[in-house]
Amino acid sequence: MTRQQAAGAKIVTVTLNPAIDQTVRVDDFAANQVNRAQAMQFDAGGKGVNVASFLVDYGLGVTATGFLGDANAQIFEVLFAVKGIGDRFVHLPGYTRTNVKIVDETQQQTTDINMRGLAPTKLALQELQETIADLAQTHDWFVLSGNLPPGVPETIYADLIAQIKAQGRQVALDASQAALQAGLLAGPTLAKPNIHELEQILGDTLTTETAVIAAARQLLDMGIELVVVSRGEQGALLVTETEVVTAVPPQIPVKSTVGAGDAMVAGLIAGRIAQLPLPDLARLATAFSLEAVSRVGAHLPDLQALRERMSQVLVR
């Protein structure tokens, strides 16, 4: 399948706890001192919102849903309108949380200060489930990503995965803690834990690549088709029943690590839709992630720049 053919596929991203990302650039940031900022910007964020933004930049059709606060929804609505992202968010009274990202380019560090978010009512949760059921009639892939807002059951992702699979659609899961553990048991099509999350799930330290592969294969036994374990600068391991691929990125200047994992998820979805062989899928997903860390905000360059990034990724 070509990229042009894949563009006909439709994707839904689900963000239960979105955020406005306030990114402040502070070189040589030091705690407990006065710091002088070089720049600041605000972006509509949250993991699923970021995934949607990357995917539409790649030319795919995306609808975003989840929960948004009424009081400051405009920054999200502007992003959706500018990028052509379908908006099916369920609105809640109050303000969507603002997360502060302190980016220190000199030390190549990012400090996150994340707020809790709005608590949806049972009625709002029911409306979201009905929205997802409606979208599953016309969309092929669903991406469930991010942490949970207050008051939401830890089984929410598992419940949504079961609902989406029952309607014959494919689903990717990128979550953490108990929500990730419960969601994995529901057997999503694709799961992307990072190495620390995988260690938490298994209750063991994974010190070798062989151990990581064995751990990923335990997740495959839950009915998952593809497990991708992200390991930061060490790259990612992609594991299916029949193949294992390691993708190692080149070292590049890092502007911000915010959204790097979301970019990888977007690249994985784009590659799966295009039915890429696993090595090419690994290159594409890693190229998405490299582009994310080279800029502030969830945006991709043109296709030629992505191809150049792909050529820099070592796959074995």
> How do residues 224-252 score in pLDDT, each as one tens digit?
999 999 998 888 999 999 999 999 999 99
| pLDDT the model gives residue 257 | 78
Active-site residue, 70 included: no
What does the pLDDT look like over 274-310, one tens digit per residue? 999 999 999 999 999 999 998 878 899 999 999 999 9
Residue 129 pLDDT exceeds 70? yes
What does the domain layout of the chain look like in residue ranges?
Answer: 7-311
- Can you give the C-alpha Rg of the chain in angstroms? 19
Residue 241: the pLDDT is: 96
**pLDDT for 42-79, tens place per residue?**
999 999 999 999 999 999 999 999 999 999 999 999 99
The answer, as to whether pTM is greater than 0.75, is yes
CATH number of 7-311: 3.40.1190.20
Selected catalytic residue, list 104, 140, 262, 302: 262
List, for residues 157-175, the tens digit of each pLDDT value. Answer: 999 999 999 999 999 999 9
